[in-house]
């Protein structure tokens, strides 16, 4: 199947899951995760009318996106991979949304860069709901204080929270946990759910799902991150 068909199918599934949860399909954004895929492949999704994309590496996105952003209006590019502080400048210049803000040092670097570049990006704070050592994200116990720092002190435009559940656990409890942290902090957006579990994420309140494989097909395993 082609990418346009895949997109249509995923959007149908999102709509069905939303309806089942008595939510509006239009309240859920589809972030098409184009990491590793070529500009040619991404162009197919753009031609099909899709505009919201996710990439996990700044350098890869820099090679692929500026020309596509020239060619297509209204692209909204999300960074969904971990960000090093020394890449904050490049990330602010290229992306529209950063979903992986997970520590004070990075939050401060982003605030400084946005001010310098006169650009306000929406951000999500990534929460390491499974407390995995190898994964980025603020620990749940530090989440309230980190949200306060980003939103109230640094005046960042915090849209909501993002999580990547542990691969070997039932994702739903992580989705529920993320929703809980967002709710008690009055944050309305939740970026959660990938190809294998976005319908479940929608049942737990996802407002944004990040779907790669179901849109673009399987990625070459070696470069996958
Ligand atoms: C790659 C990636 C996705 C998409 O995963 P699929 O299983 O291919 O849908 C979603 N979120 C993050 C953070 C990713 O790195």
Distance 221 CA to ligand 1 centre (A): 13
Check residue 223 and give its pLDDT. 52
In a domain, 51, yes or no: yes
- Give the residues surrounding ligand 1 with Cβ less than 6 Å away: 33, 35, 56, 80-81, 164, 194-196, 210-214
Q: Are strands 97-101 and 189-191 parallel, antiparallel or unpaired?
A: unpaired
pTM (predicted TM-score):
0.96
Q: Measured in angstroms, how far is the CA atom of residue 94 from the centroid of ligand 1? A: 20
The tokens for 60 are 């890869």
The pLDDT assigned to 219 comes to 86
Domains identified in the chain, total number = 1
Domain that holds residue 52: 3-215
Query: Do the domain assignments include residue 222?
Result: no
Q: How much distance in Å is there from the Cα of 71 to the middle of ligand 1?
A: 25
Q: Does some domain include residue 127? A: yes
Q: Is residue 61 part of a domain?
A: yes
pLDDT tens digits, one per residue of 180-199 = 999 999 999 999 999 999 99
Which DSSP string do the residues of 74-134 spell out, in sequence order? Answer: T-EEEE-S---GGGHHHHHHH-SEEEEE-SHHHHHHHHHHHHHHT---EEEEEB-TT--TT
90 lies in some domain:
yes
| CATH number of the domain enclosing 173 | 3.20.20.10
pLDDT tens, residue by residue, 66-114: 999 999 999 999 999 999 999 999 999 999 999 999 999 999 999 999 9
In a domain, 221, yes or no: no
Domain assignment present for residue 59? The answer is yes
């Amino acid at each position: 199947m082609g990418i346009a068909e895949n997109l249509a199918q995923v959007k149908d599934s999102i709509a069905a899951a939303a309806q089942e949860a008595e939510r509006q399909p239009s309240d859920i954004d589809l972030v098409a995760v184009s990491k590793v895929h070529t500009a040619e492949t991404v162009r197919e999704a753009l031609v099909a009318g899709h505009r919201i994309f996710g990439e996990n590496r700044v350098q890869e996105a820099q090679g692929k996106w500026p020309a596509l952003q020239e060619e297509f209006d209204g692209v909204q590019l999300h960074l969904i991979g971990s960000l090093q502080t020394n890449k904050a400048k490049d990330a602010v210049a290229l992306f529209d949304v950063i979903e992986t803000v997970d520590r004070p040092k990075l939050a401060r670097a982003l605030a400084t860069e946005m001010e310098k570049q006169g650009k306000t990006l929406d951000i999500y704070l990534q929460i390491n709901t499974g407390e995995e050592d190898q994964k980025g994200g603020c620990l749940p116990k530090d989440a309230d204080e980190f949200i306060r720092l980003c939103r109230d002190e640094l005046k960042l435009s915090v849209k909501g929270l993002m999580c990547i559940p542990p691969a070997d656990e039932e994702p739903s409890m992580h989705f529920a946990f993320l929703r809980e942290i967002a709710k008690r902090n009055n944050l309305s957006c939740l970026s959660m759910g990938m190809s294998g579990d976005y319908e479940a994420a929608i049942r737990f309140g996802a407002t944004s799902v990040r779907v790669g494989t179901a849109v673009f097909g399987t990625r070459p395993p070696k470069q996958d991150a």
